[in-house]
A and B are shown apart, each in its own frame.
Chain A
Amino acid sequence: MEITLMQGIGLAIMAIVVGLDFWLEALFIFRPIIVSTLTGIILGDVQLGLVCGGITELAFAGLTPAGGTQPPNPVLAGVMSVVIAYITGQGAEASMALALPFSFLMQYVILFCYSTFSFFMKGADKAAEEADVKGVYKTNIICSCIIAALYGVIVFLCAYAAQDAMKALVEMLPAWLTHGFEVAGGILPAVGFAMLLRVMLKVEFVPYLLIGFVIACFLDFSNLLPIAIVGVALALLVYNIEGKIAAVAAQKTVVEEDFDDGI
Chain B
Amino acid sequence: MMEYRVEIALWAISGIIPFFMLNIWTNNNLNESINISDVMLSRYFLCAFFVRQFSVVWVVFSFEEDSLMGKVSPYLIQPLNPFFRYFAQHLAEQITRFPFALIIAFFFFIFNPESLWIPNLGILLLSIVSTFLSFLMQFLIQSIVACLCFWTEKASSIERLLFIPTLFLSGLLAPVVSFPAYVKSWIYLTPFPYLIDFPANLLSGNETNISGGLSMQILWIFLLFPLFKKIWSEGTKKYTAMGS
The finding on whether chains A and B are genuine partners in a shared complex, rather than unrelated, reads no
CB within 8 Å of A: which residues of B? none
CB within 8 Å of B: which residues of A? none
